[in-house]
Amino acid sequence: MVESVAPHGLHHVTAIAEDPQRNVDFYTTVLGLRLVKRTVNFDAPSTYHLYYGDASGRPSTLLTFFPWPGAPNGKQGTGLTTATAFSVPPESLGWWQQRLQTLGVDADDPVAAGDEEVLRLRDPDGLVIELVASDGDSRSGWDGVAAIPFDSAIRGLFSVTMTEQLLDPTAEMLDGLLGMQHGQDTKDGTRFVMSGAAEGTAVDVRPSNENRGVQAAGTVHHIAFRAPDGETQAKWRLELIEAGVQVTEILDRQYFTSIYFREPGGVLLEIATDQPGFTVDEPLLELGQHLKLPPWLEPNREQIQNTLPSLRVPPAPKSG
């Protein structure tokens, strides 16, 4: 019986891209996120794994990518996470609309969605990103690049949207096995909220008659929820297994440990620990500046570097 599983917010969202340089340019220069880690997909080391977030890459601020050169375009549909939302200060939404228009980004006009105002845009691969005017978000964001003023900077993840053929089986996992609370119902679906964190706690589930989505460039690979530490994660894993969920072993991701499983609609979920974080292998001021490999891949560094495309990254911030 599941008794204690209760993730306390979104940890990160991982998506698929096609061109790594185009990905870096968009998320650092257009959206102003910090590239906090340049590493590889540990399961496929010939591919980058790029992490973007706030100044230190704190959990709840992270969007990460597997950029596979030549990857085909995916297709949104059921069984996928179809939108990733970031929080921005309410007064900045008009500023963002003008900025995106000036830069030629594919974006819609802001619209009201429940109690929130949302600006929806698409990255160069077609991944749907939403900027949500969110009052009272205390996260500081990252204002180190892209000429984005502090009072407009993205604060961190706000929510994710999962599109499902059937709402009830997914809802039963979220509020029955994962300890989320049934929040607001809208004409588009249902919101579930995690407790224990002030921001980045919402999961929206949208029922749809669309065809099943195709996971490739421009789609989300998985979403990750936060566990405070490894001991708690291990306990949650055993409880999920006892409830009949097929869960992976605990995997070392260098900057956190992870377990993976699927919800009934097919979306891949992860529970990741908050620690040890991104400064475990490079100083705070140098985050994202160098290719970092876990110890078990370090002996193959030369071979791995030779297979990866060259990448220009924003310069490190100046101290002081």
pLDDT at 320: 44
Range of the structural domain that residue 292 is part of: 9-307
User: Does residue 262 fall inside a structural domain?
Assistant: yes
Assess contact for 241 and 247: CB atoms under 8 A: yes
Q: Global pTM?
A: 0.96
156, 139 in Cβ contact below 8 A?
yes
Report if residue 4 sits inside a domain.
Answer: no
Q: Is 187 helix (H, G, I), strand (E, B) or coil?
A: coil
Q: Residue 217: CB partners within 8 Å, gap ≥ 6?
A: 16, 17, 18, 68, 71, 72, 73, 74, 125, 126
Q: Are 39 and 49 in contact (CB under 8 A)?
A: yes
Give per-10-residue mean pLDDT for the chain (320 aa): 85 98 96 96 96 95 97 96 96 95 95 88 98 88 74 94 96 95 86 83 95 97 97 97 97 98 98 97 95 97 96 77
User: How do 106-107 and 116-122 pair as beta strands?
Assistant: antiparallel
Structural domain includes residue 320: no
**Number of domains, the chain:** 1
Task: Determine, yes or no, domain membership for 317.
Answer: no
Rg of the Cα trace of the chain?
A: 19
The CATH number of residue 144's host domain is: 3.10.180.10
Look at residue 78 in the predicted model and tell me its pLDDT. 97
pLDDT the model gives residue 96: 96
**For the chain, what's the residue count?**
320
Q: Where are the alpha helices (DSSP H) in the chain?
A: 20-24, 93-102, 167-172, 230-242, 301-307
Q: Is residue 312 part of a domain?
A: no
**Residue 1 domain flag:** no
Tens digits of per-residue pLDDT, 272-318?
Answer: 999 999 999 999 999 999 999 999 999 999 999 999 999 999 887 76
For residue range 196-227, list pLDDT tens digits in order. 666 899 999 999 999 999 999 999 999 999 99
Domain assignment present for 316: no
Contact 229, 275 (CB under 8 A): yes
Question: Considering all CA atoms of the chain, what is the largest pairwise distance in Å, rounded to the nearest integer?
Answer: 54
Whether 184 is in a domain gets the answer yes
